Amino acid sequence: MAEETKNQEVQEVAGMATSSQPNVEKQQENPEKFLAEFNWHNYEEGIDPIDDEKLEEFEKLVAENFVDTLDDEVVEGTVINITDRDAIIDINAKSEGVISLNEFRYNPDLKVGDKVEVLIDVREDATGQLVLSHRKARVIKAWDRVNAAHEEGTIVNGFVKCRTKGGMIVDVFGIEAFLPGSQIDVKPIRDYDAYVGKTMEFKVVKINHEFKNVVVSHKALIEADIEEQKKEIIGQLEKGQVLEGTVKNITSYGVFVDLGGVDGLVHITDLSWSRINHPNEIVDLDQKLNVVILDFDEDKTRIQLGLKQLKKHPWDALSETLSVGDKVKGKVVVIADYGAFIEVAEGVEGLIHVSEMSWSTHLRSAQDFVNVGDEVEAQILTLDREERKMSLGIKQLTPDPWTDITSKYPVGSRHTGVVRNFTNFGVFVELEEGIDGLIYISDLSWTKKIKHPSEFCNVGDKLEVVVLELDVEGRKLSLGHKQIEDNPWDKYETEFAVGTKHTATIDEMVDKGATIEFNEDITAFVPTRHLEKEDGSKLGKGEEAEFVIIEFNKEFKRVVASHMSIHKEEEAKIVKQAAKKAQEDNKPTLGDANADLQALKDKMEGK
């Protein structure tokens, strides 16, 4: 070891110096003088007297072989031994120095014989050994080296210490530099922790002297090589060329594939002949696969790739025996309002239009019949191999209900149906799947005045109906609801004939008169002047009185009554004449009666 060599040299010099010892006889001749001149310090320290010549030779040897251990001075040392915790460094001083291995974490390959820069931290510890610092020495020299690396563009080694927000902290020459996440590699990094504890090569890309910040990049080192490789690959690209690539990124719209420095996109529609919801159903990150070049722009910076094109088109593999009229089974893959797409084979789909799902002519949505993922059976309606289109039908698997419509629903027959839809003019009622009929608003009730069908019933209600008309060719049924009962106005025509008298209460005062309710079906109108009582006053709301019917119209369900005609003979006479005329002509008489009554009133007032 170096320490043993130096000790040996010192002993040789000391040996030569101690070979000339004082003469014992001289000590005995003059003991007083000997004691007075005796060097007690050398005696206590164990140092024997040395001749001046030997001492000068010794000092010269020390000056030539040992360095001056000054503070704040960086010197170069040699690793002479490595323990579990420390590195022993020889700086050519009186003793070796010790440095903790933690200061060499950036250099895990440190070995005996390596030259390292050190700074003397403590000249001598309790054991007389030098305590050195490699980290402090690196810091002193670091900025000069970092600036030089930045200016010259040289590559430096750095030790990745830990993760931080947006990137990593790297030890470069003892300085903590920042490595942005985007500068680690040319491809996206998914596991930053995998880089912690590694020694990597970097390029200094930015220095902020004011804040003492250093930014390094590993990506910059490989970009130049990749750019050259990229140009070489782009120059050889041809449509239809098959290349091997690695899945670099997966998005909802497609997959980016690294072709060796050049990225291409496989759109989701070019991944599989079958429909898929997301590309991760087909590929995984870092997966290697073969792709075919479909297209690229003039600069060849945007490359369109395909995966499914490497396989034979499913339509080409479709059985030649498959034809119109055959039954097929498949899975519902897509549903729209107008129909559903069924995958009958991998990559082969057929459309079932909503009109082909049911014999019903009532418009409905495809969701009412099937759901995504359902296994269905259908019949092929059209098949175009050139256009690769197929239309299917479900209703064709069941008999057409209109084939025997005349025997099942003859005119006059009664049935129970379900209200399916409203229009302004009527109600659609479904008698069975595929058989719908229309009830016009006028055929809903004999007595109620209905402005909109929703006033009479709700969707989903069950209604009893009578078949009124049947159009087999037009596939139309005309139904009626009121016809299930007799027309009560036939009975009312006699009960409330013109001239009949009835007692009732004024229900409401309305414009130009009042209304009275004789029963739940008949509400009569009383003109204002016919509200006159015998004393000249007029009837008001809530007053009960006797009324005579002066008009009854069954067709328009109109009834007019009068109280004045009860106590005025002339008016009563006119009413009787109107009743007689109504029996003869069977026509509305209110206009005639009113004209006669007005003439009588004018006569009484002397006009």
Q: What is the pLDDT of residues 480-494, one digit of tens each?
A: 988 888 777 777 888
- Say if CB 257 and CB 263 are below 8 A apart: yes
- Pairwise CA distance, residues 262 & 305, whole Å: 12
The Cα angle at residue 599 between residues 593 and 604, in degrees rounded to 5:
125
- Pairwise CA distance, residues 560 & 553, whole Å: 9
- Say if CB 189 and CB 179 are below 8 A apart: no
At 195-240, the pLDDT tens digits run 888 888 888 888 887 777 889 988 888 776 777 777 777 777 788 8
Q: What is the pLDDT of residue 595?
A: 54
- Pairwise CA distance, residues 337 & 365, whole Å: 5
Q: What is the pLDDT of residue 21?
A: 44
Phi-psi region of 212 (alpha: psi -120 to 50; beta: other; left: phi over 0): left
Neighbours of 573 (CB within 10 A): 13
Long-range contacts of the stretch 137-145 (C-beta < 8 A, 24+) = 137/74, 137/174, 138/173, 138/174, 139/173, 139/174, 139/175, 140/74, 141/74, 141/117, 141/173, 142/172, 142/173, 142/174, 142/175, 143/175, 145/173
At 572-596, the pLDDT tens digits run 666 667 666 666 655 555 555 555 5
Q: What is the pLDDT of residue 527?
A: 92
Specify the pTM: 0.40
Q: To which H or E segment does residue 177 belong?
A: strand 175-180
Buried b or exposed e, range 314-329, using 16+ CB within 10 angstroms: bbeebeeeeeeeeebe
Residue with the two structure tokens 């130009």: 512
Q: Are strands 288-296 and 263-267 parallel, antiparallel or unpaired?
A: unpaired
Amino acid at residue number 421: N
- Say if CB 573 and CB 550 are below 8 A apart: no
Q: What is the pLDDT of residue 37?
A: 66
Q: What is the pLDDT of residue 103?
A: 82
The Cα angle at residue 190 between residues 184 and 195, in degrees rounded to 5:
50
3-class secondary-structure state, position 314: coil
Residue with the two structure tokens 């130096």: 6
- Pairwise CA distance, residues 546 & 504, whole Å: 6
- Pairwise CA distance, residues 525 & 510, whole Å: 9
Cα separations (Å) of 175 from 136, 143, 154, 156, 287? 10, 8, 17, 12, 38
Residue with the two structure tokens 């629903």: 409
The Cα angle at residue 449 between residues 444 and 452, in degrees rounded to 5:
70
Mark the ranges of the chain whose per-residue pLDDT is less than 70: 1-72, 94, 121-128, 224, 298-301, 361-363, 569-576, 578-607
How does DSSP assign 392-438, residue by residue? EESGGGS--GGGGHHHHS-TT-EEEEEEEEEETTEEEEEEETTEEEE
Q: What is the pLDDT of residue 596?
A: 56
Long-range contacts of the stretch 492-497 (C-beta < 8 A, 24+) = 492/521, 492/522, 492/552, 492/554, 493/552, 493/554, 496/522, 496/549, 496/552, 496/559, 497/549, 497/552, 497/579
